[in-house]
Structure 1
């Protein structure tokens, strides 16, 4: 079980790291973001859209509503600038949502349906943890693609975020 303090920190971390990543990606040669690569999501923009789609799906679960996605690999925003705006709005939603929670609401079990049609139950806090972990995993794939360009990827580590952007979390 996570508490409100941790949920808030994780939501802010996700927003911070997404912002850093999009700023860095904007500095790359434009064709690199859409260039097909040997990865599950085919490209940097495909991978970032996958993160966004999964965020949308879990947002819908947290809001107890249908999400409408038929696949996790949709590309609703093929242009980096459009995706950046959508992702940052999504990050704002998760930060706002986290700030409205209580320790009890984060432990609330929520029934949902996977894209595959399978039914399951998770707590709201576990859903947030999944969103953050899922994005971190796929950002690692994006960082690997930076090395193929070659370009220097941004620093996205949690300890750097805590030191630079959220020091209140480290001091109690």
Structure 2
């Protein structure tokens, strides 16, 4: 399996898990969604907003890659989040719509990446303004790992609220070989 195919699998996994997480979160009351459960981003809603914020920040950086600019054009037009704990959407339905739209963008974008794209060194500045130059494939791995990390936190928060997300293993999407 090529590196490009692995990133497509991670994009598919990302979308699949977000559907499961958002379906479970959608069954919570407003009070349960916003309850401070002691997580770094406090609540289910706060943590889900953080994942969207981080995705937007990274996708805007990725859009500076010469091969990605046109694929991520709609992302570039989004407002810049004010901080990593910025609540972009206080309304769960609006947050869900944004998440599903972002996941479609990510699926389409990763499907167009080539080996040369992944080998590119991306220059960017982090949220504190510190310059970095890193291999694009490594940044993509971080991008997907960050989502997985925080979705794991959300799964725990949902469990505390009485909701079971179900199977969360990437293994569930890896095709059987004959």
TM class, shorter-length: 0.7 to 0.9
Distance 1:123 1:18 in 2: 26
Number of residue pairs matched by the alignment: 165
Q: Distance in 2 between matches of 1:3 and 1:152?
A: 32
> Does 35-44 or 123-132 show the bigger shift?
123-132
Partners of 2:133 and 2:106 in 1: CA distance: 20
- Answer with 141-150 or 38-47: which moved more: 141-150
2:39 matched residue in structure 1: 39
Aligned to 2:85: 73
Deviations 1:81-126 (A, max 9, x none): 1111101111111111111111111111110110011111222222
Per the alignment, residue 73 of structure 2 pairs with: none
The answer to whether structure 1 residue 171 and structure 2 residue 177 are counterparts is: yes
Contact 1:21 1:154 in 2 (8 A): no
**What is the root-mean-square deviation in Å for CA atoms of aligned residues?**
1.9
Alignment of 1:105-124 (within 5 A): 105-124=117-136
Q: Structure 2: how far apart are the matches of 1:142 and 1:82? A: 18
Report the Cα offset of residue 44 of structure 1.
0.4
> In the aligned structure 1, how far is the partner of 2:127 from the partner of 2:10?
25
Question: What is the TM-score normalised by the length of structure 1?
Answer: 0.87
Which of residues 81, 86, 98 is equivalent to 1:86?
98
Segments of structure 1 that go 5 or more residues without pairing to the other structure are none
